[in-house]
Amino acid sequence: MASLLSPQLKRLLGYVRPYSVRLTAGVILLAFVGLAEGMTALMVKPAVDQVLTPAVYGSSVPLFKIPWTGNYVYLNKFFPPSIHNVWTIFAITIVILFTARAIAEYGGLTLIQYVGQAATRDLRNKVYERVLRQPIDFFQHNPTGRILSTVINDVEKARLALSDYLADLFQKSFTFVVLVAVMLVINWKLTLGTALLLPLVVYPVGKLGKKIRTSVEKSQTRLGDLSQILEETVSGNRVVKAFGMEEFESQKFREVARRMLRDNMRWVRAFVLTSPLMDLLGGLVIPLLLLYARNQIQHHQMTSGDFFAFLFAMLNAYMPLKRMGYVYQQFQAAQGASTQVFAYLDRVEERLDEPNGNLLAPFSREIVFDEVTFAYDGGSAQVLEKISFTANSGEVIAVVGTSGAGKTTLVNLIPRFYEVRSGVIRIDGVDIRNVTIRSLREQIAMVTQENILFHDTVWNNICYGLTNIPRERVIQAAQTALAHDFIQELPQGYDTVIGERGTRLSGGQRQRIAIARAILKDSPILILDEATSELDSESEMYVQKALSNLMVGRTTFVIAHRLGTIRKADKILVLVDGSIRESGTHAELLERGGSYARLHDLQFAEEVVLAPAAAPNQNPLNSRNKA
């Protein structure tokens, strides 16, 4: 049996281990069900030979002959002598037997189902935790829909195996074993005769199992593809509508669905073939059996009761055998489906708390970038090259540069969203790779380019990651971020649920909630990546003012395209193609007349140029169109 289990299946079954007590209890109950089935088969003989044969007189009800001793087990021995009618004995036994069997079956199946369901819950929790703790680039390489599908659908398929089919497996194998024993007791020669045909069935079932495993794996991948399309088009629904891509997207969906049908049918065919294949066995056995039995009965080697009991046991042993074939195939399917689940489980987590990692002491002096070089996932293209600068505590460091210059990448290295390729980032002289990620991130608050809000209330979004915050502080943070007023105008104020990713809010509103969140976190290091880009000039001015209050005593990294917002920075780094082209204060850089000065002039000129362009007849594009 053990060799039938692949390492993967063993691993899956390993999740059942913590529940071994319940499992054992369930197995014992199901073993009883098996025994009861065997008993029922044995009762066929007295039913035919005694109860249905009026000529037989007396109260002895022989059940079966104990092998090798020649002694019979009599049913009436279990009853007080006052009950001696064959029919009464028979009837009482049947009622007790069936009642006990029903109770045991109910209890056993419930227990084993519980074990399977609980094991699946553990598995799912584990996969989710593992996925959640993956470093950022995992999420950039694994589409959301796929991950969803693995945690939901693939685990569900494994659940079927662990709960439904595990219960089935135990029940059916006990029944099978007991009934085979009954068959042996009734007539061992006949039993061995029928057993010879067994390999004819087992071999193809095994073959089919392998096919099922691989094709189920494929069809689970398709399911992942489907959820991916669904996820993207539901969350990106506005873009789909705006570009009129409904037809295109549903075409794409239909195409994957079509392929999924094809892959599904591949395993369904193998799966469904199992049962008819096993039925062929029955077709072969029964005529031979009849022929032999007729001969035996003629020679008084066997009674009709024996034959019927044997037939009853055989047909009843055959059902669980058939079912076990089915269950085996289901296990193969579960194995195929769990491939991806285990692939996720085998990934290494981002190590938030190394067991003996040092904690980063509260930030006090400076952050130093020392010849930091970085490229994304093994790619040769350097995104950052030899970045060196020092940010003293309390300073505002502005990072400017064209789109794609590497500004976001640079600040993402500070909380270790990515690890530097070479060079070192030091906080107060400590290499950030030598402290726990958690202690590092605790000291950093970020407002990012895309503000991720959760499908939850405004309140909980502002307090994200913090507990027991007094009401006044939350409101104060919201006020500072200029968010309080619009929040109060929402239908339920701070308790308004803002929709997935905050889609019920405007871009600027989302941004202000993210700012409030950062304000509330009150960390010594603040990273603002285009934090005010979605605000109108007036609000931006106010939020800037609020942020400058916030920056007091903090070390702040500001990324801004609008240079107006960073004039007062202590240091401006001009990033060109991943390296620092120049650095200094606003005044110094203007004086140098380098890239920054050019950028500045350009922006200043832009403001002048753009104003008259608003008038339609002076729009250069318009006049060109007319020409």
- Return residues touching Mg ion (CB under 5 A): 408
DSSP 3-state of 132: helix
Q: Is residue 480 part of the contact set for ligand ATP (CB under 6 A)?
A: no
Strand partners, 69: none
Q: What are phi and psi of 571, to 5 degrees?
A: -150, 135
Q: Which is nearer to ligand ATP, 338 or 412 (CB)?
A: 412
In three-state secondary structure terms, 284 is helix
Q: Residue 380 interacts with ligand ATP (CB under 6 A)? A: no
Which candidate, 96, 87, 98, 94, places its Cα nearest to that of 50? 87
Helices and strands (H, E) in the chain, number of each type: 22, 12
Span interacting with ligand ATP, options 111-119, 159-167, 231-239, 396-404, rule CB under 6 A:
396-404
Please work out the total of residues on this chain that contact ligand ATP, with binding judged by CB under 6 A.
Answer: 12
Name, in order, each residue with C-beta under 8 angstroms of 454's C-beta and a sequence gap of 6 or more: 460, 461, 464, 501, 502
Binding track over 138-157 against ligand ATP, x by CB under 6 A:
--x-----------------
CB of 224 to ligand ATP, least distance (A): 21
Applying CB under 6 A, the span of 150-158, 252-260, 406-414, 513-521 interacting with ligand ATP comes to: 406-414
- For ligand ATP, give the closer residue by CB, 125 or 140: 140
Widest CA span of the chain, in angstroms?
124
Structure tokens at 438: 């958690």
Kindly tell me which of 98 and 376 has the beta carbon lying closer to ligand ATP. 376
Alpha helical stretches, state H, 377-506? 407-412, 437-441, 458-462, 471-480, 484-489
Nearest alpha-carbon partner for 400 in 183, 562, 274: 562
Instruction: Answer yes or no whether residue 407 interacts with ligand ATP by CB under 6 A.
Output: yes
Q: Which stretch binds ligand ATP (CB under 6 A): 125-133, 349-357, 399-407, 583-591?
A: 399-407
Site for ligand ATP in 360-379 (CB under 6 A): 376
Q: Which is nearer to ligand ATP, 321 or 383 (CB)?
A: 383
Q: Nearest-CA neighbor of 555 among 539, 543, 571? A: 571
CB of 409 to ligand ATP, least distance (A): 3
With CB under 5 to 8 Å by kind, the binding choice for 88 among ligand ATP, Mg ion, none is none
Pairing verdict, β 396-401 and 382-392: unpaired
Partner interacting with residue 228 (select from Mg ion, ligand ATP, none; CB below 5-8 Å by kind): none
Using the minimum distance from each CB to ligand ATP, give the nearer residue, 167 or 573: 573
Residue 215 or residue 408: which is nearer to Mg ion going by CB?
408
Spell out where 241-395 has E strands: 366-375, 382-392
| Window of 55-63, 304-312, 359-367, 397-405 that interacts with ligand ATP by CB under 6 A | 397-405
Buried b (16+ CB within 10 A) or exposed e, 47-71: bbbbbeeeeeeebbbbbbeeeeeee
Kindly state the tokens that stand for 39: 């008993």
Closest alpha carbon to 168 in 286, 375, 301, 326 = 326
Q: Residue 537 interacts with ligand ATP (CB under 6 A)? A: no
Q: Pick the closer one to ligand ATP by CB: 408 or 583.
A: 408
Closer to Mg ion by CB, 153 or 408: give it: 408
Q: Which amino acid is at 331?
A: F
* Residue 405 engages ligand ATP in binding (rule: CB under 6 A): yes
Q: How far is the CB of 573 from ligand ATP (least distance, A)?
A: 11
Of 135 and 206, nearer to ligand ATP (C-beta) is 135
For the residues of 438-454, what is the DSSP string, one character each? Answer: HHHHTTEEEE-SS----
Q: Which stretch binds ligand ATP (CB under 6 A): 69-77, 162-170, 290-298, 404-412?
A: 404-412
Whichever of 186 and 559 has its CB closer to Mg ion, that residue is 559
User: Which H or E element spans position 400?
Assistant: strand 396-401
CB-nearest residue to Mg ion: 408
Q: Which stretch binds ligand ATP (CB under 6 A): 84-92, 178-186, 242-250, 403-411?
A: 403-411
Pairing of strands 571-576, 555-559: unpaired
Nearer to ligand ATP, 275 or 402 (CB): 402
Closest among 422, 304, 444 to 371, alpha carbons compared: 422
**Interface with ligand ATP includes 401 (CB under 6 A)?**
yes
The reply on whether position 618 binds ligand ATP by CB under 6 A is no
Q: By CB under 6 A, is residue 392 in contact with ligand ATP?
A: no
Angle, helices 471-480 vs 537-551, to 10°: value is 130
Partner in contact with 405, chosen from Mg ion, ligand ATP, none, beta carbon below 5 to 8 Å by kind: ligand ATP
Instruction: State how far the alpha carbon of 593 is from the alpha carbons of 582, 586, 590, 596, in Å.
Output: 11, 11, 5, 7
Can residue 580 be called a binding residue for ligand ATP (CB under 6 A)?
no
When asked if residue 406 is in the footprint of ligand ATP (CB under 6 A), the reply is yes
Among the residue ranges 61-69, 119-127, 192-200, 400-408, the one whose residues contact ligand ATP (CB under 6 A): 400-408
List 435's β-bridge partners, or say none: 358
The answer to the question of residue 449 lying near ligand ATP (CB under 6 A) is yes
Q: Are strands 72-74 and 62-65 parallel, antiparallel or unpaired?
A: antiparallel
Smallest gap from residue 448 Cβ to Mg ion (A): 9
Integer Cα distance of 582 and 596 in angstroms? 8
Residue from 111, 208, 383, 427 touching ligand ATP (CB under 6 A): that is 383
Question: Is 416 near ligand ATP (CB under 6 A)?
Answer: no
Please, what is the minimum distance in Å from the beta carbon of residue 580 to Mg ion? Answer: 16
CB of 388 to ligand ATP, least distance (A): 18
Q: Supply the minimum distance, in Å, between the C-beta of residue 511 and Mg ion.
A: 14
**Which residue, 182, 180, 169, 172, is CA-closest to 33?**
172
Polymer length of the chain: 627
**CA distance linking residue 208 with residue 332, whole number of Å:** 9
Nearer to Mg ion by Cβ, of 410 and 440: the residue is 410
Chain contacts with ligand ATP (rule: CB under 6 A): 140, 376, 383, 401, 403-409, 449
